[in-house]
Structure 1
Amino acid sequence: MNSAEPWADPERVGRYRARVFAERDRLRAAFTDPGAQQRRVLADLLAFNADTAYGRAHDFARVRTLDDWRKAVPVQDYSALAPWIERAAAGEDNVLTADRPALFFTSSGTTGSRKKIPVTRRFMHTTFFPFYYAAWAPLITHFPDVLARPDAVLNLKHDPLTTPPTTASGKPHVGASQADFGTRFGEPLSAEPGTHAPWATLPTPLAPDAHLDKMYLRLRMAVESDIRCIIGINPAMVAALPYQLNLWWPRILKDIRDGTLDGRPGLLPNPERVVELQQLTRCHATIRPAHIWPHMRALFCWTTGLASLYLPRLREEFGPGVALLPAPVAASEGPVGVALDRHRSAGSLVVSASVYEFADADRDLTPDTPTLRPDELEPGRDYHTVFSHVGGLYRYAVGDVVRVVDHEDGVPRLEYTGRSTLSNVAGERLRDAHVLRALTTALTAGGLELRNAACRVSRDERGTPAYEFALAPHTPWTDDETERFTARLDRALGQESPGYRRARADRRLGAPSALRLPADAFLRDWQESVAGGIRPTQVKDRLFRQDPAQWRRLTGRTPQ
């Protein structure tokens, strides 16, 4: 955020719109010859970083083609690059990149570890900012009123820090939503919609890890505004909002009536708004965002993964006709796809950002795994994502699996299907995508809906492993519905995964079971995680939950 350029300035809004559309148009122009773009990106990163310690060790100066690149550098994950990254984080120059890291992004927390992702000025200007601006084009094209006022957008992920944690060399080590791109990278237009709302910088000081208190204060203040758009990126944050409204409703009303912030002076009393809100309470047993913000237009977040199970119903909480716009297919380490239209789930490959390679998701990644170019991808197939960019990540396996939806404008459109991590106790080799597709098949066949789901491997009295599913139905299921659903799920898992089908046939794996939970079970679990000090952006939907303590907290049962 750059406080010198507030969203209230119409001239600033005009320049922002122009920048967004220009980056979108440049990216579309790159689609006319994606192969040339990929060669250009490779040549640029090689030339720029050839004389780094990593570049000399891998003979960047001799690389000319993608085949040369594959021979020179192995496919690698974070652990393989970690020694090089730690040298850079300790302050050593010219390790992975010719320019010094300005900061280090922390990982989003999917794997539970706190990575240090080097972020350089060259990376931001050549790889990050072009896709970052283009990602907002569908929103501001079709819903321009979200830019009409600074308080028209509730940006749930915006979380600036006064004193960020640092690496050994003193560089900030923060999430992307906590970085000040305007000041650090000279990008005054980089502040997202919603980052100049009255609640963007809270008027009362709070501890850095008081995440629920921050969420309460922002929501309490936003209830007084006419919100048109919610930006969440992580859909679990968006799903938590209706739950929090009802959880905190009496507290919110009291604060608005008294002009307080969680009981502390700070704002003017607003009795007129309280009268309006109390009328809603008399009319509705459950307060929904649609009641409070009747002009809501759009939700901006990831729309795939477990969120695909609950977003259709969740959207209704925010109002009839509210649009779901997909956030980019991206990680802290770099972008992969960005939606340039209103497709519900997929984004076009950002061919000008990185050198992209892909590998069959049903095969294990190794340093010498054969990879495919973007033009070799097939619709309907799942792939590991591997990318290389000028920011110092080379043939980096980010750990995400994407599915090719189709090809549009000459490039593949991709949707995120989950992590590449396998659940594999009996040779079943289940990935997130297998289980999610099986869940969808089993639900659709019975006309059933879920608010969320998770699973773990349990064992019976003979020690035979089997999958136990924790399910939060949208409306209550009967015992018969549950039994029939579980049988369909078993069949669907076998259809998705040959390993699962063989393990079941050989009786190495028992039949799955289903545990019905209250509708708000996953929301309560999410709230408890945030209350425990984890940043809301990092508390994501997680399908496989093998940790006994986490399972007990979610279900109230001690796992077998």
Structure 2
Amino acid sequence: MGFKAALSKPFAAIINIQLNKLRKNAVSLQQKTFTGLIQQASETAFGKDHQFAAIKTYDDFKKNVPIRDYEDLRPYIDRVVNGEENIMWPGKPAYLAKTSGTTSGVKYIPISKESMPEHIKAARNALLNYIHETGKTDFVDGSMIFLQGSPILSEKHGIQVGRLSGIVAHHVPQYLQKNRKPSYEINCIEDWEEKVDAIVDETLNEDMRLISGIPPWCQMYFDRLSQKSGEKKIKDIFPNFKLFVYGGVNYEPYRARIEDSIGFPIDSIETYPASEGFIAFQDSQKDKGLLLLADSGIFYEFIPVDEYFDPNPTRIELKDVELNKNYALILNTNAGLWGYSIGDTVKFISKDPYKIMVSGRIKHYISAFGEHVIGEEVEHALLNVAKAEGVDITEFTVAPQVNPPQGQLPYHEWFIEFAGSPKNIAEFSLKVDEALQKKNIYYFDLIKGSILQPLKIMPLKKNAFIDYMRSKGKLGGQNKVPRLANDRKIADELSYYSINE
């Protein structure tokens, strides 16, 4: 055991004590966070406009601060981006995280000097918590790779601007810098495919022990490594590879293929970082729940998903959530976001401690006929059938077909890239459809009432999704393919990659 590994165990024990306080006191920590945020922002432009000085309770806050998405908050955010001070949070932000919005074009999310350390602390604690739980420390002494965006930052009115992962790269602790990959020079490469090839060349002969990134782009890295090494499994290239850290998308659709590429079921840690804040991480290898970080400078609110688009939806704080109910996640942060709808949906699988699972996106659903099918349901239906049938899924997305050929009923069209195709697509499709009917009563009623016909699957060529993302200039980084859409913008373009073409 090396020096770093030996030192990590007592450090992990200290962090575990802190995390246990979080686990036991989440509600009181949220109240403390709420009070602190309101006090700190009371003299900002936003605080004055919304009478923060008069807010004493959460009910006061709900009366004064409406729920807003990025576009609704944009008048304030634009003032921040233009260099004005004390708009949403005291002073200017330390950074602006640049993201690609689906409806807003480029978005700029403020990161303050108070919120930036929370990103680093959460990532660190996720690893130390794993060490404390498992006793496994070997990965600390080897090389670690973080597949992320370029660390090159630009500047707007005295504020540093970049992708979140690129910003975070500037704050990696010194004790991790020596064994961290890729090198700064390679990390700065903007073209994703060129970057992955360079990372493969740089790491092929390294002692890689921890790999972190968004699953589909990690899979691309694994594929290139395998090709470069003569089709070896990752375990044979990196025999000491012990831990996979991921976030950004649900891992389950990728798990089978990634584990096949590696050569064994590897320990993994799911994280829930966002430009708006680090929200949760998996704190046990025994379950898949993510520990909600109630002391990270974020006050959370929750809206039942089925009320989200109502004029006056129910709006609750942590102490009032129910188990196994889908909520839209609302953030109030120490970077100055207020009543901010991040667009994600979560459900609680535990309240002692408070643990969540990310269940989808508010805007990623299909309800062309009133069915309101969500991401969690389509993933559950597809993956359960695929597992039972021994079928491997590379990637997929679903869209409604509201204008079928004359004489046919409308249907849901599933665009799937298979790593291992089913023997009979028609039979496989019916089984997935039956599984989805069991998950969603509205969809069941529409099928049984002959309003919809059962779903249809369009198999896609190998690398169809990579080719599609490349065509959109969104290959790699933090970019993800939406699982669901209410329109056919993505679907119609993916049709060109059908194996029937």
TM-score, scaled to structure 2: 0.88
- Aligned structure 1 segments of 4 or more residues deviating by more than 6 angstroms: 13-20
Letter in 2 for 1:470: F
Q: Which residue of 1 aligns with 2:417?
A: 472
Q: How much does 1:434 deviate?
A: 2.0
Q: Which residue of 2 aligns with 1:543?
A: 483
Q: How much does 1:139 deviate?
A: 4.5
**1:352 partnered with 2:295:** yes
Cα deviations by residue, 1:377-424 (Å, 9 ceiling, x for unpaired) = 3333222111212211112111111122223xx332111122122322
Which residues in structure 2 correspond to 1:36-435 (within 5 Å)?
36-107=28-99, 113-125=105-117, 127-141=118-132, 142-149=135-142, 152-157=143-148, 159-161=150-152, 164-167=153-156, 169-179=157-167, 190=173, 193=176, 196-197=179-180, 199-202=182-185, 209-232=190-213, 234-247=214-227, 249=228, 281=230, 286-302=231-247, 305=250, 307-326=251-270, 328-343=271-286, 345-353=288-296, 354-366=298-310, 368-407=312-351, 410-421=352-363, 422-435=365-378
User: Is the 2:397–2:482 Cα contact (8 Å) retained in structure 1?
Assistant: yes
| Structure 1 residues 236 and 321: alpha-carbon distance in aligned structure 2, compared to 1, 3 A threshold | closer
| Structure 1 residues 197 and 303: alpha-carbon distance in aligned structure 2, compared to 1, 3 A threshold | closer
For 1:466 and 1:492, the matched residues in 2 are separated by 15
Q: How much does 1:181 deviate?
A: 6.5
Letter in 2 for 1:107: T
| Structure 1 residues 112 and 483: alpha-carbon distance in aligned structure 2, compared to 1, 3 A threshold | farther
Q: How much does 1:18 deviate?
A: 6.8
For 1:316 and 1:196, the matched residues in 2 are separated by 26
Give unmatched runs, 5+ long, in structure 2: none
| Structure 1 residues 531 and 165: alpha-carbon distance in aligned structure 2, compared to 1, 3 A threshold | farther
Letter in 2 for 1:526: I
| Structure 1 residues 179 and 122: alpha-carbon distance in aligned structure 2, compared to 1, 3 A threshold | same
Cα deviations by residue, 1:503-536 (Å, 9 ceiling, x for unpaired) = 3344433321112335xx3x45326635764361
Q: How much does 1:33 deviate?
A: 2.3
Which one of the candidate residues 460, 471, 490 is aligned to 2:433? 490
For 2:414 and 2:178, the matched residues in 1 are separated by 39
Residues paired across the two proteins, number:
491
| Structure 1 residues 293 and 128: alpha-carbon distance in aligned structure 2, compared to 1, 3 A threshold | closer
User: Is the 1:41–1:389 Cα contact (8 Å) retained in structure 2?
Assistant: no
Of structures 1 and 2, the one with the larger relative CO (CA 8 A, separation 6+) is: 1
Q: How much does 1:55 deviate?
A: 0.4
The percentage of counterpart residues that share the same residue type is: 19
For 2:105 and 2:167, the matched residues in 1 are separated by 19
For 1:394 and 1:132, the matched residues in 2 are separated by 24
Cα deviations by residue, 1:45-76 (Å, 9 ceiling, x for unpaired) = 11100011110111111111111111111122
For 1:131 and 1:346, the matched residues in 2 are separated by 16
| Structure 1 residues 532 and 33: alpha-carbon distance in aligned structure 2, compared to 1, 3 A threshold | closer
Q: CA RMSD in A?
A: 3.0
For 1:22 and 1:367, the matched residues in 2 are separated by 46
| Structure 1 residues 236 and 553: alpha-carbon distance in aligned structure 2, compared to 1, 3 A threshold | farther
| Structure 1 residues 58 and 14: alpha-carbon distance in aligned structure 2, compared to 1, 3 A threshold | farther
Letter in 1 for 2:324: G
